[in-house]
Structure 1
């Protein structure tokens, strides 16, 4: 596993961290695969009831690293097969890992979320963020279709009006807008850009207070 994505187990909580700050936490196809693998591994840990996904640095994730599309097949006639086996399969794999994750999934947005990474977090059960957070899914401006099942998940979590702004207009959705429509549960106003450790600490305090051992873990999973 690469250092760009890592997992730490803390009793009933598993923390997945994206740390590729030089690339603003953009992920390659292989790194999205690793993220999906970690989520499925966590699903097998009976002692874990909560998964927290967060990032290091100023950005949560700048989406897909462009290097995922750098490889080309030797025979141009096999382009469709090549992309089906690589990009499409990878996209389906990470999306499936998110929408089938059995644990309580909490995303802690330490900064902006862009592209596929932004689409995937719509499957979270709770989302916390810092004031500098924004959501940007520029698929239409890049000549792409929406990824990560965003055309469905965004409508459910953002509402049809904001979902259309995000997906069709490629509009940047601010933290305040995300809070107003219920996409995020809370903005931690006391956290500045790059204060990821402080932010994660506050999120863990929130989780302990709201989802601590006073609640029955197995009940949480069954309710979800």
Structure 2
């Protein structure tokens, strides 16, 4: 198994687990990630997810050695891109906070995974790159739109046109990264523990609306946004929040 999943007190850690290959992501791993994150949506007890890599690196990105078998023909290329989009969309659309905890290299498709997360906590040794121009690949539309929403037009062009690596400080300065920390996984866990005490429906609704507004390749779904607002308004948690306020106690939210 090239992906490890561990649970602790409502926080799930998903680890890309091929350290001997710098956690390069195979087609099978893309498909597994999509399935895992879709399945997480049905687990009410989950309050947050950390996505990280085993060993010294987050991930070298898509496993290029895998391409001769999985991305050789046009049809295979289309299917491969669909698997990548499905994995990243499953992360982005999950109604729980997801934090990428990054050390070492985060290249190519790994940047796509990281950008699908809500936050990117990075160590000082982190290095990022999208070397698609070195392989005559055009990055997928969804990943391109996520990069544009994070760093802006000029910086996104620099990243794509140059294919050059950039360091953690540059990632933080441009908005690609959210925090430069000594221990990304620990910092991610601490952040998610703080979120865990708050109303899950509020977080899920805000995430859905903000992500929909940031993605420029699809029209904004006003109906879905209004449904998320109504779901929270009619929930048990809304009644609990009001009761806790009146009784001057901490609320006990259940995501219902």
Do they fold alike, i.e. is TM over 0.5? yes
Query: In structure 2, what is the equivalent of residue 9 of structure 1?
Result: 7
From the superposition, tell whether residues 220 and 64 of structure 1 become closer, same or farther in structure 2 (CA, over 3 Å). Answer: same
1:5-36 deviation per Cα after TM superposition (whole angstroms, max 9, x unaligned): 12122232221111211000101100111111
Whether the 8 Å CA contact 2:107–2:130 is kept in 1: the answer is: yes
From the superposition, tell whether residues 93 and 217 of structure 1 become closer, same or farther in structure 2 (CA, over 3 Å). Answer: closer
Deviation, structure 1 residue 218: 2.7
Deviation, structure 1 residue 55: 1.1
1:126-172 deviation per Cα after TM superposition (whole angstroms, max 9, x unaligned): 11010011211000121110137222111100121221111121121
Which structure would you say has the larger RCO, counting Cα contacts within 8 Å and 6 or more residues apart?
1
Query: In structure 1, what is the equivalent of residue 185 of structure 2?
Result: 200
Q: Structure 2: how far apart are the matches of 1:103 and 1:206? A: 13
Query: In structure 1, what is the equivalent of residue 60 of structure 2?
Result: 62
Q: Structure 2: how far apart are the matches of 1:143 and 1:12? A: 42
Q: Structure 2: how far apart are the matches of 1:72 and 1:60? A: 22
1:80 aligns with 2:74: yes
**How many corresponding residue pairs?**
207
Query: In structure 1, what is the equivalent of residue 134 of structure 2?
Result: 141
| Partner SS, residue 51 of structure 1 | strand
Runs of at least 4 residues off by over 4 Å: none
Query: In structure 2, what is the equivalent of residue 195 of structure 1?
Result: none
1:218 aligns with 2:211: no
- Greater Rg by CA: 2
Whether the 8 Å CA contact 1:52–1:108 is kept in 2: the answer is: yes
Deviation, structure 1 residue 119: 1.9
Unaligned runs of 5+ in 2: 208-256
1:157 aligns with 2:155: no
TM-score between both structures, scaled by the size of structure 1: 0.83
Query: In structure 2, what is the equivalent of residue 90 of structure 1?
Result: 83
